[in-house]
């Protein structure tokens, strides 16, 4: 499996393509993000199936990559619309990936700012987050 193939997989990800995760991820792969910490390709597939139920038109765009034989770092944007208002949103983040001997992902950790990128955009919670941010800013 090549990094280019993995990036193409994510950039073209659809709900039907979630079944293809085993081609890219080791059976016991670890996936960590601000909301999840799971092991196993089936658990990772559940996360992405859940994503498709929660938001409309989810789409990943990878803008940068740094890689070597053991792993990679991907800089990405995740575009989607909340089901309640239909406005397009963007979350920016970074994925740290490690590969097994077969070239499949065995470790995937996403880094992104859940407070600033997501919570601040939610009704009610967003107002509280913006007030808190202003109060704590230097």
Residue ranges of domains in the chain: 3-112
**pLDDT per residue as tens digits for the range 1-14:** 689 999 999 999 99
CA dist., res. 50 & res. 69, Å (int): 31
pLDDT in tens, 72-116: 999 999 999 987 777 888 999 999 999 999 999 999 999 988 765
What does the alpha-carbon distance between residue 43 and residue 1 come to, in Å, rounded to a whole number? 21
Q: Work out the average pLDDT over 6-24.
A: 98
Question: Using 50, 70 and 90 to split pLDDT, how confident is the model at 135?
Answer: confident
Q: Is the pLDDT of residue 32 over 70?
A: yes
Burial 46-82 (b: 16+ CB within 10 A, else e): eebeeebeeeeebebebeebeeeeebbebebebebeb
Q: What angle do CA 88, 92, 96 make, to 5 degrees?
A: 140
The answer for residues whose C-beta is within 8 angstroms of residue 63's C-beta and 6 or more apart is 75, 76, 77
φ, ψ of residue 95 in degrees (nearest 5): -115, 130
Rounded Cα gap, residues 98 and 72, in angstroms = 7
Q: Domain 3-112 falls in which CATH fold?
A: Nuclear Transport Factor 2; Chain: A, (3.10.450)
């Amino acid at each position: 499996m090549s990094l280019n193939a993995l990036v193409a997989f994510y950039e073209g990800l659809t709900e039907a393509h979630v079944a293809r995760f085993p081609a890219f991820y080791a059976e016991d792969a670890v996936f960590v993000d601000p909301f999840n910490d799971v092991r196993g390709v089936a658990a990772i597939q559940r996360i992405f199936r859940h994503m498709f139920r929660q938001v409309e038109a989810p789409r990943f765009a990878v803008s940068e990559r740094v890689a070597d034989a053991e792993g990679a770092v991907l800089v990405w944007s995740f575009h989607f619309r909340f089901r309640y208002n239909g406005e397009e949103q963007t979350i920016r983040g970074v994925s740290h990936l490690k590969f097994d001997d077969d070239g499949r992902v065995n470790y995937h950790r996403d880094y992104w700012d859940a407070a600033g990128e997501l919570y601040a955009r939610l009704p009610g919670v967003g107002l509280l987050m913006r007030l808190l941010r202003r109060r704590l800013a230097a």
